[in-house]
Amino acid sequence: MKEKQNLLNLNQKALDAFFKELGEKSFRSKQLMKWIYKDHVFDFDKMLNLSKNLRETLKDIACIDFPTIVSKNHALDGVVKWIIDMGNENNIETVYIPEKDRGTLCISSQVGCALACTFCSTGYQGFNRNLSTAEIMAQVLIANLHLKASGRHVSNVVFMGMGEPMLNEEAVYNVCDLLLDDWAFGLSRRKVTISSSGVVPALERMSERVPVSLAISLHAATDDLRDELVPINKKYPIKELMRACKVYLNAGTQERHILFEYVMLKGVNDSANHAQQLARLLKNMSAKVNLIPFNSFAESDYQVSSVKTIEAFQNILFSQGIRTMTRRTRGEDVDAACGQLAGKVLDKTKRSDARRN
């Protein structure tokens, strides 16, 4: 028996093609998207502006399937973390961060991560597989369904959860299409952010494919240090990464900026000299730096820089004309802070075993 098509896998263009094959007009895509993403109706029988014959056909060949929620944890500061079952002993994590004027959802794009950044808990878990469009999209729907009762909703989405989004391009692009689509979530391009450690060829493709915001997980301004912290730098060194960033900044017709993320590690990358190196690297670039106090986890020997050190680092960047902010740690009491997401990963790379030995 042919497997049913999970309609959460399809953006509007793909839905148009799906309904065309059924002999239906393209407006059916918009009707279906409204039911799913606006009204949160997932039962075809309740989609009453679809003909009865179409509803019966959809029940035979299609589905709207969600993964199972393993647990939901509430932090003292209002952060919510969902652990979601992806089958075969794999879990991912999704985090909602409430602010006064917005609600940001941090979503995962892979089960684990293959990049093995040394300061990130996800990297220690190893890698299993990419998530499908439906599995990523379900994270946003799960959050909105939970928030509905409190009158809140997801206003911003960041691909900063488990995984490297630019190693799962097509699924991530499809999700971005739906997040920006007025018939789905209708978010503005500035409210959707892809964070990448620097997969250069994919970043160049992304510049033309989706007009969303870009964050670069940088953490060092020289190749020697970045090779140690972010191993993909050995394949795509900083010079190539900066070239790809300029491609992004010059793409499209609307003004673009890049957020550079920089985790503050005591005695590793937090000196005045490191700050000067970073200022020189980003000079004359439309950029903003987000300094992130390191969030500890069991396997790591790193320590967070002191508040005084972070302030001094920030002041040096300010003095060089670099826009800078320091991220406030959120959700730490439920291991939902930046760099702490670990989930449960059946590691196909065996990297996690090697690192523990």
- Cβ-contact 291, 310 below 8 angstroms: yes
List 24, 56, 93, 299, catalytic entry:
93
Nearest to 143 by CA among 134, 153, 129: 153
Residue 31 has a CB neighbour count (10 Å cut-off) of 18
DSSP string of 119-161? T-HHHHH-EEEEPPHHHHHHHHHHHHHHHHTTT----EEEE-S
- Per the CB < 8 A criterion, the answer to whether 210 and 218 are in contact is no
- The answer to whether residue 245 is catalytic is no
Q: Are 167 and 2 in contact (CB under 8 A)?
A: no
Neighbours of 317 (CB within 10 A): 20
Q: For the beta carbon of residue 30, count every other beta carbon within 10 angstroms.
A: 16
Paired with 73 in beta bridges are: 81
Instruction: Produce one character per residue of 54-78: b if its CB has 16 or more CB atoms within 10 Å, e if not.
Output: beebbeeebbbebbeeeeebebeee
Q: How far apart are CA 176 and CA 117, in angstroms?
A: 25
Distance CA 7, CA 21 (A): 14
DSSP one-letter string for 214-266: EEEE---SSHHHHHHHSGGGGTS-HHHHHHHHHHHHHSSSS---EEEEEEEBT
Residue from 106, 120, 245, 338 carrying the catalytic annotation: 338
Q: Could you tell me the two tokens for 6?
A: 């999970």
Residue 22 to residue 51: CA distance in whole angstroms: 13
Quick check: is 113 catalytic?
A: no
Which residues have C-beta within 8 Å of that of residue 10, sequence separation ≥ 6?
18, 133, 174
Active site residues: 93, 338
